[in-house]
Amino acid sequence: MLYYVYLITRLDDLKQYIGTTNSDRLSERMKDHRHSDRYRNRPFTYEILYSTTDFEDCLLHETRLVQQYDTYRNGLNATRSGKGCHHDSPQFTTHGYKYTDEQRANVSKGIRAAFAERKTKGLGHWIKGIKRSAELRQRWSVVRKNKRFAPCKKLTPIKIKDIRDAWARHITLPGEHKIGTKLPNGLTLTYRILFTKYFADQYRVTGVLIKGIIDGKVWRENVTNA
């Protein structure tokens, strides 16, 4: 793996920022920057100033380049070291915050105590949810039946209708002669699987979305469930 020190230049005012990342996270890091307060709706360019296989060496060069490009006093870096604001602790790195064994033990102890307290109060597991009455669950079931919590935003109403019509008409699909054969994951190829893959590839969406459409669980304004 390579570690990079990069330079970002904001094009509207030419202010600059020095940061570090690695070869696995470079594109993801730039996406993070595009959504940050510094760069949202503001064009910028980036370039790699230094690369190395040694992480500690990368951090040293980051600090040096922050000083060289003066991005702390006259740029966008929040600290002289290049680490994020409030991250001057030696335990903070590009990989994240390194917790000590004592800190990990305290976190674990706190979680166990919270679980024990909820169990004592009869609240159950907070992730699995609080127990709901049968009446309330039935009301939710009626309200949510054949619906998702949000409308489909990736496909137009006409495309959703076309997919449902194609499913209802059982259109001929490429590769139908393979129906009944075993797939690499061990499942048997069915018309439903073939249909889902065909339209997912055609519209560049997930198979889950296509299944939701043909099952009447995805909705959009002016489209009624088939």
- 105: helix, coil or strand? helix
* Half-sphere exposure for 197 (CA within 13 Å, toward CB): 12
The two structure tokens encoding residue 215: 């099952």
User: In this predicted structure, what is the pLDDT of residue 131?
Assistant: 65
* Location of each CATH 3.40.1440.10 domain in the chain: 3-96
Distance, in Å, from the CA atom of 49 to the CA atom of 30, rounded to the nearest integer, reads 15
Radius of gyration of the chain from its Cα atoms, rounded to whole angstroms: 26
User: In this predicted structure, what is the pLDDT of residue 68?
Assistant: 94
User: In this predicted structure, what is the pLDDT of residue 190?
Assistant: 93
User: In this predicted structure, what is the pLDDT of residue 146?
Assistant: 57
3-96: CATH, from 3.50.50.60, 3.30.360.10, 1.10.540.10, 3.40.1440.10: 3.40.1440.10
User: In this predicted structure, what is the pLDDT of residue 222?
Assistant: 41
Beta strands in the chain (DSSP E): 3-10, 16-22, 44-52, 92-93, 96-97
Distance, in Å, from the CA atom of 216 to the CA atom of 200, rounded to the nearest integer, reads 16
User: In this predicted structure, what is the pLDDT of residue 155?
Assistant: 80
Question: Do 6 and 33 contact (CB within 8 A), yes or no?
Answer: no
| Identity of residue 31 | K
Query: In which element (H, E) is residue 167 found?
Result: helix 157-169
Low-confidence ranges of the chain (pLDDT < 50): 86, 149, 221-226
User: In this predicted structure, what is the pLDDT of residue 152?
Assistant: 60
* pTM exceeds 0.75, yes or no: no
User: In this predicted structure, what is the pLDDT of residue 93?
Assistant: 52
Strands 44-52 and 16-22: unpaired
